[in-house]
Amino acid sequence: MFLPNKNTPRWVIFTIDVVLTIVSLSISYLIRFDFVNIDRRLWENEYQLLLTSFPIFIVVRALLYYFSKIYAGIIRYTSTEDTKRLFSTVSLGTLIFLLISFIKNTFYDSLNFLPISILITEYLVTLFLLLTFRITVKLLYVENKKSNSNTIKTLIYGAGKMGIITKNTIDRDASQEFEIVGFIDDNKNKMGKMIERCPIIGIEKLSHWVNDKGIKHVIIAIKNPVKENKRALINESLKNKLKISTVPPVEKWLGDSFNVKQIQKINIDDLLGRDTIELNKENIANQLQNKIILVSGAAGSIGSEICRQVLHYDPKKLILLDQAESGLYDLEHEFKKNDFKQNWEIVIGDITNYVRMKRLFSHFKPDLIFHAAAYKHVPLMELNPAEAITTNVEGSKNLIKLSDKYNAVKFVLISTDKAVNPTNVMGASKRIAEVYAQSFNAHSSTQFITTRFGNVLGSNGSVIPLFKKQINDGGPITVTDKNITRYFMTIPEACELVLEAGIMGNGGEIFVFDMGQSVKIIDLAKKMIKLSGLDEDDIKIKITGLRPGEKLYEELLSDNENTLPTHHDKILIGKVNQYDFKSISPKIDSLIEEANKQNNDKIVKKMKEILPEFISKNSDFTKFDN
């Protein structure tokens, strides 16, 4: 069927509405006189009344149509809001006619404006004709779109308000090739029902619909999906080689309205992320509000997210400390753009520079310190042990000592799962920093707390950005071992738990986060290839072998024998070896001195003396293991 692509001029729609109104009045009179049995004398009386009333009738209707702009919408995209406006406009006109009738009958000539039966019938018929006109045009365009062989048959995950808005927005956009043929929803009570002529199905029927209906695309448009169900949908979609897109949260819609251009590719975070964490926000607010808070490593992935979250709790002052000026510049621009309250200050400085750090502490006197600054790349630190010790150990020591000196309330050290039974220099350096903070806690009024978690999705230098780049470059994706596994957590989730653990800690604890199930990196690579709309014939996976110091499996001390529960089910207290500060401190000082001399072998030997559990793997430093 041929239908014009361009929108019909508004004056044409306005004219059609007026003509339909005249037709509805004519139909009303035909109904009044039973169509054929017209009493001539009665009609003559009615005709005279109609002659005087018709000009007013048509002017009132036309003016209301004009000012309410019911003609201004694109007819083929008529929505519920358009229907409400049309109903209100026609109803207002009829109320005006009834008011005129009352005034005319009571105060003028004892006659109505038009017979009441005509007014009621005309009201109903006008509504019917105007709505039928719009619905007919809309249905013709829908059927015409369905008959177009170039459309992409699409399902929307989410049969709620967000899903319906997504469907209506797509239907209104003539440039879109999506043809919405149904909804997927988790609510069993909705299954088998229809929304706007589109059936609602469950995830288990997706494969059948792919084969039977030719589904090519799934759009996720649901406000708070159960993560387990969402992952099941994504896995089922990938299995059926469907393209997957998602609609951003409502708070990120442009101008509080949804635009088709905002539909974006599904993120790997959505596949690995878990249910929303419930935090004790009142307690966090009590601890952070009106406090001076220092975040080291503020330009990094974890540090910057901690800053974002802390600012929501209205601190007295937030100090963003880092030596990476470009990252701080970007963060400054972001905060200004988002209109954050100007209660933050950027400080460029190196945590290994004690004089600079002392000046910072003496000036700001922070109440709480979140220490996220560190070197974290395993292969690079394996080649540069001196830098690992200088930054991760000496830098941490500087901040720990200064926190005590200037009476900070709490110090939260952000550590890593690689500190558990370390097999590389980086993990061992973080474990030594943990040891220093935990042992120093007994000699200070400051509460020193350690938080430990695994990999965070999308952090700088992590496997996710690397895989994305390799896919964009055409491959191959490099995986060190087909059996290697890692724990993953989203950046916001990790930082939320850092805040919660930091608040609940009393000093001396090492908090371990529940990272969920470990993920095989090769499976992650395969899913990322599929999410990119490609397959393993397009992007090859290359096994490169374990890197120096790299573990096959990471550990978190998350089993019941090595942890104690807390009030939060995702935060546990790790049971680890306790060190006496007076005996361990000289050894750590000696290690730092050795790092200043830049002798890698002697540095690693001393690390292994401090940490007997430090057993190198796939590294030149295995020669120092007993």
Alpha carbons 117 and 270: distance in angstroms, whole number = 60
Within 10 angstroms of residue 193's Cβ, the number of other Cβ atoms is: 13
Residue 219 pLDDT: 87
SS3 call for 153: strand
Catalytic positions are: 418
Q: How confident is the model at residue 389 (pLDDT cuts 50, 70, 90)?
A: very high
User: Range with the lowest mean pLDDT among 438-452, 461-475, 564-578?
Assistant: 564-578
Q: Is the dihedral of CA 322, 323, 327, 329 positive or negative?
A: positive
| Unique residue bearing structure tokens 């002392």 | 358
User: Residues 303, 370: contact at Cβ < 8 Å?
Assistant: yes
- List the domain boundaries for the chain: 10-144, 149-266, 281-622
What does DSSP say about strands 317-322 and 292-296: parallel, antiparallel, or unpaired? parallel
Strand partners, 478: 542
Q: What is the mean pLDDT of residues 394-410?
A: 97
Work out the burial of residue 212: count CB atoms within 10 Å of its CB; fewer than 13 is exposed, 13-18 middle, 19 or more buried. Answer: exposed
Give me the torsion for CA of 388, 390, 391, 396, rounded to 10°: 120
The contacts of residue 186 (CB under 8 Å, 6+ apart) are 202, 203, 225, 226, 229
pLDDT tens for residues 489-509? Answer: 778 888 888 888 888 888 888
- pLDDT value at residue 367: 96
Q: How confident is the model at residue 517 (pLDDT cuts 50, 70, 90)?
A: confident
347 - beta bridge partners? Answer: 321
Position with higher pLDDT, 299 vs 280:
299
Q: Is the pLDDT of residue 607 over 60?
A: yes
pLDDT (mean) for 208-219: 87
Look up the CATH architecture of domain 281-622. 3-Layer(aba) Sandwich (3.40)
Tell me phi and psi for residue 499, to 5 degrees: -65, -45
Residue 387 above 60 pLDDT? yes
User: Does residue 508 contact residue 441 with C-beta atoms inside 8 Å?
Assistant: yes
Tens digits of residue pLDDT in 122-155: 889 988 988 888 777 777 766 665 555 567 888 9
| pLDDT in the model for residue 2 | 43
The closest of 423, 410, 587 to 509, measured between CA atoms, is 410
Asked whether the beta carbons of 505 and 410 are under 8 A apart, the reply is: yes
Q: What is the pLDDT of residue 560?
A: 46
The span from the CA of 565 to the CA of 421, in Å, is: 21
CATH fold group of domain 149-266: Rossmann fold (3.40.50)
Hey, do 149-266 and 281-622 end up sharing a CATH topology, with the first three levels equal?
yes
Please check whether residue 43 is in contact with residue 33, taking contact to mean a CB–CB distance below 8 angstroms.
yes
Strand, helix or coil for residue 541? strand
Q: Which residues contact 220 (CB under 8 A, 6 or more apart)?
A: 157, 158, 230, 233, 244, 245, 246, 247, 266, 270
pLDDT at 558: 44
Q: When comparing pLDDT for 320 and 462, which is higher?
A: 320
pLDDT at 5 > cutoff 70: no
For Cα atoms 153, 83, 147, give the angle at the middle one, nearest 5 degrees: 25
Using the structure block, give the residue that is written with the tokens 């374990």: 546
The arithmetic mean of pLDDT across residues 218-237, rounded, is 83
Alpha-carbon gap, residue 378 to 376, rounded angstroms: 6
H or E stretch covering 457: strand 455-457
pTM of the model: 0.69
Render pLDDT for 52-101 as a digit per residue (tens, 0 to 9): 788 888 898 888 888 887 766 545 555 667 778 888 888 898 899 889 88
Mode of pairing for the β-strands spanning 563-565 and 571-574? antiparallel
Name the residue with higher pLDDT: 523 or 566.
523
E-strand ranges in 188-339 read 194-195, 198-201, 217-220, 243-246, 264-265, 292-296, 317-322
Cα(46)–Cα(37) distance, integer angstroms: 15
Give the pLDDT mean for 36-65: 77
In the three-class reduction of DSSP (H, G, I as helix; E, B as strand; rest coil), residue 529 is classed as helix
Is the pLDDT score of 518 beyond 90? no
Longest dimension (CA), the chain: 121
